[in-house]
Structure 1
Amino acid sequence: MEYEKLLDEADEKNIDVIEMKFKGNIKGLYCNNTIAINQNIKTNAEKVCILAEEIGHHYTSSGNILEQSNVINIKQEKIARNWAYKKLVGITSIIQAYKNGIRNKYELAEFLNVTEEFLDEALTYYKNKYGLFYTIDNYIIYFDPLAILEKF
């Protein structure tokens, strides 16, 4: 997904998105319908991943969850991250990539405009949710190692 499309989605939901400098290693924050993205993020793919997760916080989180030693906050962080996985690396998107000739994880990450790390985490999410594979329509998606089989 393109960064601009996510910005449009945020705008439609009345979420302001600003890019600014952060101290430390914070990449993004969400608070009161405003998302701040670290302007030092180098790649468009990483910005997409960060913005999707922060939009996920808009839909799934409540309160201040910055303190990550709190189990409830950790769960909210995970739920927002899972929302981003489904948004950017949806099962049907994986099949669409296969139909477009994508045959490895590097190409898939590029096709989906996500980082390879984010893609790996998304595939792990699906593996934990569905098991080793998922069947949809005429396709079987294996998550580890990534493979897509078309049934005839």
Structure 2
Amino acid sequence: MLYDNLLREAEHLGIDTYEKPMSPRNKGLYGDNIIWINKMIPTRVEKACALGEELGHHHTSYGDILDQSDVCARKQELRARQWAYWRLVPLTEIVRAYKARVSGRHEIAEFIGVTEAFLQDSIDRYREKYGLFVVLDKQYTVYLDPLGVAELFPES
């Protein structure tokens, strides 16, 4: 379902998306408002993660960044991944999983619609940005290590 939503988002942005066989090391590529997703990726969940990152390139990258020995190219790659983390695994989705009584990384990843590795990478990035926890809307504390959510109750 997430993959289909991202495909619609790409179409809305005027981006053509194609699946084609690619080298196993390439999950996707973006250039000139075209996204190619590796047709050999076995699951739609993995394809959603790849498509999210390529949409991140649309929103954050410019020029040819294929040479990852270049510092600017690596920074743009990180920005695109970060965009995908924020878009596919917003902290509000972790709270929504908590409210649905979903527990464990595997189940949370399945609930959100991403791979467990993508969920972990997202959490790692959030931890780099916020530290061990972040408070959302003065209602929830999302703990990033270990992963968990605590509901805050208003003072009476």
Q: TM-score range by the shorter chain?
A: over 0.9
Letter of the aligned partner of 2:147 in structure 1?
A: L
The 8 Å contact of residues 123 and 144 in structure 2, kept in 1 or not, is answered as: yes
Instruction: Describe the SS at the equivalent of 1:6.
Output: helix
How well do the aligned residues superpose, as a CA RMSD in angstroms? 0.9
Alpha-carbon separation, structure 2, partners of 1:42 and 1:8? 21
Per-residue CA shift, 1:68-108, capped at 9, x if unaligned? 00000000000000000000100111111111111211111
Q: Indicate the SS of the match to 1:7.
A: helix
Matched residue SS, 1:5: helix
Provide the secondary structure at the position in 1 that maps to 2:29.
Answer: strand
Q: Distance in 1 between matches of 2:23 and 2:95?
A: 39
Residue 152 of structure 2: aligned partner: 151
Partner Cα separation in structure 2 for residue 147 and residue 33 of structure 1: 38
The equivalences for 1:1-150 within 5 A come to: 2-137=2-137, 138-150=139-151
Provide the rounded CA distance (Å) in 2 between the counterparts of 1:113 and 1:24. 22
> Which one-letter code corresponds to 1:123 in the other structure?
I
Q: Indicate the structure whose relative CO is greater, using CA pairs within 8 Å and at least 6 residues apart.
A: 1
In 1, Cα distance between equivalents of 2:86 and 2:45 = 16
Structure 2 distance, partners of 1:26, 1:2, is 20
| Identity fraction in percent | 49
Relative to the length of structure 1, the TM-score reads 0.97
Stretch deviating more after TM superposition (58-67 or 93-102): 93-102
Question: Residue deviations 1:40-92, cap 9 Å, x none?
Answer: 00111110000000001000000000000000000000000000000010011
Structure 2: runs of 5+ lacking an equivalent? none
Q: 1:24 deviation in Å?
A: 4.4
Aligned residue for 1:59, secondary structure, equals helix
Gaps of 5+ in 1: none
When normalised by structure 2's length, the TM-score is 0.95
Instruction: Report how many aligned residue pairs link the two structures.
Output: 152
Cα offset, 1:2, TM superposition = 1.4
Q: How far 1:131 sits from its partner (Å)? A: 0.5
> Post-superposition, which runs of at least 4 consecutive aligned residues in structure 1 deviate over 6 A?
none
CA distance, structure 2, for counterparts of residue 25 and residue 91 of structure 1: 29
